């Protein structure tokens, strides 16, 4: 039996608004298998990011619980790394690339030489070797997002959470970053949760695609993407099964089936 | 005339034009007469003052009040602003009062300051501190509160504690605001140090200008005014340069 890295159990989330209580999440249950890449898709405003905030411990659910490593989540779990859509707002412009990546390592008791080594390895992994001394704003958008990914990898995470990580870059860079994420997956097998509005991207990268739908949102479908690894932008996307899966997800997201 | 622009700074051109207008207005124009000095008279008087030790003492005293007043304002206001900015409640509750004090011109405090402190260097310093401390504290607090929530949430996800969030996100984020406040405070300190002398009898260039005026030496009065202009210009240029270095990422 495979173990669940993250267990989401009947999670509900309500927000108080001036017009009364708004029910955002209405009982979400899902187990994330260790080492899997899971995408959360759904129509705009369905509560994808809300669920992600619960998973990172930034917010607490109104009811239900999230279990990580056998413990009920209250605050960011150990071994968590995040990559957000808006890299310009999540990297610090006053720190060099090296110091940005090294910052989360302050909480770990490792020597300076070790920190430097980890930064170097992470930058190499994302294809930015030698960029230690640059400032984020001196790099292109795609490169800045690579720095965010390098920062995530440097903490050697058990769980990687990404919120629309490729939504702010151009199409070509997007393909490059998707393939980078696949490479990271092959190299480290980190349990990954990604919110995206791009169904093709979700299908291309994931083991499981979870569709949220409704007000309040529930899990309307879980699509297992059993396409072979390694995947490629040309072959995988031309596979007729890829087309079937993306169609199924599309219809669920649009509420057509 | 691209070749000319490259050799002559634009600021110099306007300065020369202003001096010429001054000269004409003071010699043939509406302000001609004994009570007003022309630009050339003021410049000659200024060169004359360079040999006068009283003048240099006054320059030193004015700078002393401005610099100490400015430094004290910063030392008090930045940590104060930091504390105020750390909680939304203290920020909101303090902002109202501080905004009130911020708009009180320090000149209205001169009668009280003369009574309590007396016309001295200390009075000039106290007025400069009063002139700046509220504005700088509020600006700092604003910068602390204005820290990008995405950045703070990223740090929370990486389990960085409140102290680390202040040290690595809130303070650098406030630095751009503090830098703006610094520039305003530096020139304000200079102005207040002069006004303290001009109106309140504190030592320095302000009192010197008042003395020259009552002695009927208009050329010397305007020579002092010229000196103040130059000091102000140098101060603001210097601060802008420091600012660009200190918050090099700002505006990127």
**For A104, which of B160, B247, B252 is closest by C-beta distance?**
B160
Residue in the block written with tokens 């995988």? A236
> In B, which residues are within 8 Å of A56 by CB distance?
157
Residue B78 lies in a domain: yes
Give the Cα separation of A171 and B14 in Å (integer): 51
Q: Is the predicted pLDDT of residue A25 greater than 80, yes or no?
A: yes
β-strands A20-33, A191-195 pairing: unpaired
pLDDT of residue B28: 82
Q: Is B2 a member of any domain?
A: no
* Residue stretches of chain B with pLDDT short of 50: 1
Two structure tokens written together for B12: 């110099």
In a domain, B217, yes or no: yes
Range of the domain at B143: 52-246
How does the average pLDDT of chain A come out, rounded?
A: 91
What sign does the CA torsion over A104, A109, A110, A112 have? positive
What single-letter DSSP state applies at residue B89? H
Task: Work out whether the CA dihedral A207, A213, A218, A221 comes out positive or negative.
Answer: negative
Q: Which residues pair with A223 in a beta bridge?
A: A209
Q: How far B173 CA lies from chain A's nearest CA (Å)?
A: 9
Q: Give domain status of residue B21, yes or no.
A: no
Which residues of B fall within a CB distance of 8 Å from A86? 150
Are residues B158 and A100 in contact, defined by beta-carbon separation less than 8 angstroms?
no
Q: What is the pLDDT of residues A32-64, one digit of tens each?
A: 999 999 999 999 989 999 999 999 999 999 999
Sorted by where each begins, the domain ranges of chain A are 1-77+201-257
Q: Is residue B17 part of a domain?
A: no
B33 lies in a domain?
A: no
Within 8 A of A76 by CB-CB distance, chain B residues are 156-159
CATH class of domain segment(s) A1-77+201-257: alpha beta
- Give the residue among A210, A255, A247 at the shortest CA–CA distance from A48: A210
Decide if B252 and A93 are in contact by the 8 Å CB cutoff: yes
With an 8 Å Cβ cutoff, are B158 and A81 in contact?
Answer: yes
* Rounded Cα distance, A53 and A70, in Å: 19
- Residue A151 pLDDT greater than 60, yes or no: yes
Taking contacts as CB-CB distances below 8 angstroms, the residues of chain B near A54 are none
Q: SS3 of A93, please? A: coil
Beta bridge partners of A159: A80, A191
Rounded Cα distance, A195 and B243, in Å:
40
Q: Which has the minimum average pLDDT: A4-13, A212-221, B101-110, B231-240?
A: B101-110
Distances from the Cα of A91 to the Cα of A96, A141, B159, angstroms: 10, 11, 16
Question: How far does the CA of residue A91 sit from the closest CA of chain B (Å)?
Answer: 7
Nearest-CA distance A188 → chain B (Å):
19
Within a domain: residue B20? no
Higher pLDDT, B33 or A163: A163
Q: What's the pLDDT at A1?
A: 44
Burial profile B212-221: b = 16 or more Cβ within 10 angstroms, e = fewer: bbeeeebbbb
Going by their DSSP bridges, the two strands A4-17 and A208-213 should be labelled as unpaired
A82/B249 touch (CB, cutoff 8 Å), yes or no? no
Q: How many domains does one find in chain B?
A: 1
Please report, for the domain that includes residue B222, its CATH number.
1.10.3720.10
Q: Is B118 left (phi over 0), alpha (psi -120 to 50) or beta?
A: left
- ipTM comes to 0.91
- End-to-end CA, chain B: 32
Q: Which of B148, B154, B156, B178 to probe by mutation at the A interface, max A CB count within 10 Å?
A: B154
Q: Is B164 touching A (CB cutoff 8 A)?
A: yes
More confident residue, A73 or B35: A73
Query: What's the rounded mean pLDDT across residues A152-174?
Result: 91
Asked if B99 has any chain A CB less than 8 Å from its own CB, the reply is no
Average of per-residue pLDDT across A17-24: 89
């Amino acid at each position: 039996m495979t173990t669940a890295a993250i267990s989401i159990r009947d999670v509900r989330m309500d927000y108080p608004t001036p017009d009364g209580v708004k029910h955002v999440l209405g009982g979400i249950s899902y187990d994330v298998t260790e080492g899997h890449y899971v995408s959360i898709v759904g129509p705009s405003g369905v509560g994808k990011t809300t669920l992600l905030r619960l998973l990172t411990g930034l917010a607490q659910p109104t009811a239900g619980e999230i279990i990580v490593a056998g413990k009920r989540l209250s605050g960011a779990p150990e071994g968590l790394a995040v990559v957000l859509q808006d890299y310009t707002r999540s990297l610090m412009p006053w720190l060099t690339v090296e110091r940005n990546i090294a910052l989360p390592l302050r909480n770990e008791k490792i020597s300076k030489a070790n920190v430097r080594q980890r930064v170097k390895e992470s930058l190499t992994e994302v294809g930015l070797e030698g960029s230690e001394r640059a400032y984020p704003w001196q790099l292109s958008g795609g490169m800045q997002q690579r720095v965010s990914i390098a920062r995530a990898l440097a903490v050697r995470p058990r769980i990687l959470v990404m919120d629309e990580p490729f939504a702010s870059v151009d199409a070509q860079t997007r393909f490059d970053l998707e393939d980078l994420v696949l490479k990271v997956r092959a190299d480290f097998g980190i349990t990954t949760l990604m919110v995206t509005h791009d169904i093709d991207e979700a299908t291309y990268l994931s083991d499981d695609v979870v569709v949220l739908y409704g007000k309040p949102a529930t899990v309307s479908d879980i699509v297992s993407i059993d396409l072979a690894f390694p995947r490629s932008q040309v072959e995988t996307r031309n596979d007729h099964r890829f087309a079937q899966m993306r169609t199924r997800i599309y219809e669920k997201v649009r509420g057509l089936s | 005339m691209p070749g000319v622009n490259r050799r002559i700074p634009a600021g110099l051109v306007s300065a020369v034009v202003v001096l010429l207008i001054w000269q004409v207005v003071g010699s043939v124009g509406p302000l001609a007469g004994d009570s007003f000095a022309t630009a050339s008279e003021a410049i000659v008087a200024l060169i004359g003052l360079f040999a006068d030790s009283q003048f240099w003492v006054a320059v030193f005293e004015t700078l002393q009040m401005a610099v100490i007043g400015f430094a004290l304002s910063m030392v008090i206001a930045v940590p104060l602003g930091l504390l105020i900015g750390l909680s939304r409640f203290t920020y909101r509750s303090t902002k109202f009062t501080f905004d009130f004090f911020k708009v009180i011109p320090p000149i209205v405090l001169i009668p009280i300051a003369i009574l309590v402190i007396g016309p001295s260097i200390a009075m000039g310093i106290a007025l400069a501190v009063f002139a700046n401390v509220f504005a700088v504290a509020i600006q700092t607090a604003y910068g602390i509160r204005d820290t990008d929530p995405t950045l703070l949430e990223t740090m929370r996800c990486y389990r960085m504690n409140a102290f680390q969030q202040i040290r690595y996100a809130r303070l650098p984020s406030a630095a751009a605001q503090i830098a703006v406040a610094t520039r305003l405070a530096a020139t304000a300190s200079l102005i207040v140090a002069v006004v303290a002398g001009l109106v309140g009898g504190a030592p320095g260039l302000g009192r010197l200008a008042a003395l020259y005026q009552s002695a009927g030496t208009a050329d010397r009065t305007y020579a002092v005014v010229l000196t103040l202009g130059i000091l102000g210009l140098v101060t603001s240029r210097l601060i802008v340069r420091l600012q660009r270095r200190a918050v090099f990422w700002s505006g990127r």
